[in-house]
Amino acid sequence: MAALVATGQFEATVFPHYEAHDTAAVKVIVEEAGGKVTDLFGKEQRYDRDIRGHIVSNGFLHQKLVKLVRDHVLNKR
């Protein structure tokens, strides 16, 4: 899915899992294509340990997605 963001076919993807190997390569590919990759809360993260999911976007709507995810998580508590 993230490759589709890198090629412009998708605007974004959200990945709620914790395995770093699923995101490390995605970060390089998407950011080289001009997109943005953060954890589910909009923060940079390391990939030598478990992660806090990821949001991958074209960069234009990234902050809106972070807000939607944050609001969803806070409403579930």
pLDDT in tens, 20-34: 987 899 999 999 999
Q: Could you report the per-residue pLDDT of 47-73, keeping only the tens digit for each?
A: 999 999 999 999 999 999 999 998 988
Assign residue 61 the CATH number of its domain: 3.40.190.80
Tell whether the model's pLDDT for residue 76 goes beyond 80: no
Cβ contact 13:5 at 8 Å? yes
Looking at the structure of the chain, the number of domains it has is: 1
User: What is the arrangement of strands in the sheet containing 36-38, beginning at the earlier edge strand?
Assistant: 12-15, 54-57, 36-38
Domain membership of residue 25 as a residue range? 2-76
Residue 7 neighbours by CB under 8 Å, 6+ apart? 33
